[in-house]
Structure 1
């Protein structure tokens, strides 16, 4: 049996399309996967040139890797597309004992799923790039190298417009060389942490000035886009800062009063959110930040329902917006019972809340203030108290029933004992009365347990014979029915409690 006769049983079980090629590109043999791939039988494929079978060419491709193998005797690999599917092409030289090339193993392995995934990743990256390029914020993109250097790799057109220069000049430079004035801040290290750990970084204002002409105050938000890669979005808030300074100078007393109010609101133990007349957030105090998961800087300008999302604790349906209710009625309102806040990080907090209008000297409403507090633990205590009260009521009821039932059993006991004292009583009747006494004794034991439960005590456990306990329980359960029990116990059973 030669090597070719072993071809079919060995290679037909493989999913890869495998051919054996002669040194002149002729197909010597192929497996079933190859027949399926090209849609021809083995006898139609063998004897043909490989470029005719797989590429529909009339002659060899000028850059055919087959020719390189003849010189290097090393594996060649490439990728090719047949119709709409992608394959990895592997050419492995087969040499004799003298190192002379005698044939080549040609393998086509499907990489269609991988190529589709790569295409989707490329599309996703392109969409992200398009989003960044069209964003009104400037964007700087960095890559964290293994040696800890943070390299500038790109920017969007908004960054050029905001900074007034071509940011492509910084590509390939470290952040310290691209923007030297940042060295004195915590920004470079913060960016490294973002790229390495994925922990986002934001700051409301960074003042920057260098000899490249970049001057201003910037609000920055940085986030990781992929491992060791991050993007920093920024906007120029110079005019905003200048306006704030002018406002401070022109209306210092009002500014101081507002600051005092803000300090007061930040210091109180309840969460406080203020909105404007459109229901957009103006301020969050520290407690509100902690409870909602939003910082004040992030929440400013957002609709209340985006930051303060409340639902019914039991139905999970969204609750009515308290700010809209205050603006509509002009009155102080309170949240309904069982109102639950769903925080930004999906924590659930039961709230007590009230909202009131903010009015000016003319009585015009120009905003709403919400004051709320976490009553989750308080609610748990109240629920526990309600359960305890229900148990107390149940205990009183059980005690009363057990007491009355015990009195009734006492009377039955007395009459049965009197009946058993009757000497001419038939033996069979005496046996039935004795069994009745046992059942009544068991019933009295149960009423005693009910009385113990009603008083809040713990039943007393006793050690007894297992066979007697099982027998008494079974007979008690079946008393009055037409079912009878047959017992078979081993000797010397363990006692039970």
Structure 2
């Protein structure tokens, strides 16, 4: 028998103890017998609060308590044994290991979330069958489980067996009786579960367990217990139903789902996949159970899955979305979006990855790029015409002033004023040329590691002074960092142009908001990002955001705002945002626009975080 059993007298001293008690308390029977039970169990000189032995002596009925011994949980049950005068002469003290039942109860509570509190262990009734004397003894709890009164049957009477059999379903009676006789004659224990009906008609599920006690080569006694498992049985049945529902939902999703444990390095094999994964990748379920992430990912992208930044973000936030290319059993590759989430199974972290085939989306993006190139040709035509117009005006002014200078020389007059006008016109033409070079991203000189927060803070006084009094500038920049590799003058020019653009979006007063933060590459929006062919070449980026709540930009104009000489504002403007685009290109960055007409605009400039920072 696995339970520790003591016979305790009315003075609370242990009279008898079984071998399980020796193992449990690591003491010999000689050290146990004669001691108070609380001295052995708790190492105390006085009974603990709610001591089941003290309570059983007072209530004259079974009492129990749950205690923890050596990191395991046990249920202590005390049953009074009554003498002929119906007074307790001795007590049966049973200690049962309930650790696994307690863990099962906790697991059901977490997974089902249907129970308000952890299930208590089912109450257990004990019995003993003396083979030689043919006598049956029940504890009071076993009478309660059957719905009988302790005085209903004579103590030791074999009538207990027939009365108990009547509580089982007719088809189960031969099974329980056969198991009982096998234990009695051959010493074969049993552990069975049956539906059970109390004498009141109330139906239960019980677990009945029995073990033989040998005397020499014969079975002397059979001891057993009956446990009410109705609640746990019901919970398990509900869990099975819920599992079936989850499985149905799992397989009805039109995206491939892969589940695998989290490893510090590398990838563990899949432990679960849905039907769509098998169908889409061309493998059977059993084949996928022997594969892992590298087996379905194109070789250049395998290392991307294992990037420390990706793993750290997933562990920290529990969620990660990224794009990659997967490969089918046939060798065909296709683009996918992987949505990974951390969850815990049996206390261990697992990854649930929902993988979406984005082939159609990528094809649509390719068509959009082709459409963008067509629109770009229109933009280039407009730009060429505008440049030709600007240079033609400047050249006519220069030539006119030079011709006048020659005539003044012939008349022996000073040509200084006309020459200065020609020089100023030439400088304007040169400035247009410089702005065009910036737009094309050709001005790449003067780069260095710099603190972008500090650089932006330096020009705030100048910006506030240049804006009209009805425009408020609110900046939220860190005192130090982040660091980038770029051109200081260009970054300041970008801020000036974007702030000026935001200020001009207000008809009267308004506020322009500026902020800085760092983001991962996969967090950068793809819609309305420029240049359209930009591809991230590092994992972490600085995001400079300029936001206004002015007039906004009409959607049909969003793709044109960075084209040279395109403007919806006053004549003569049209290079502020193109210069911004050139600075973005020159600093290996990207700029995104989010705008709604009549509600405002948000420009976000993303530039790589510097690998090495200046001291």
Give the TM bin, normalised by the shorter chain: 0.3 to 0.5
TM-score, structure 1 normalization? 0.46
Q: RCO greater where, 1 or 2, for CA within 8 Å and sep 6 or more?
A: 2
Instruction: Give the number of the structure whose residues are more often helix, by fraction.
Output: 1
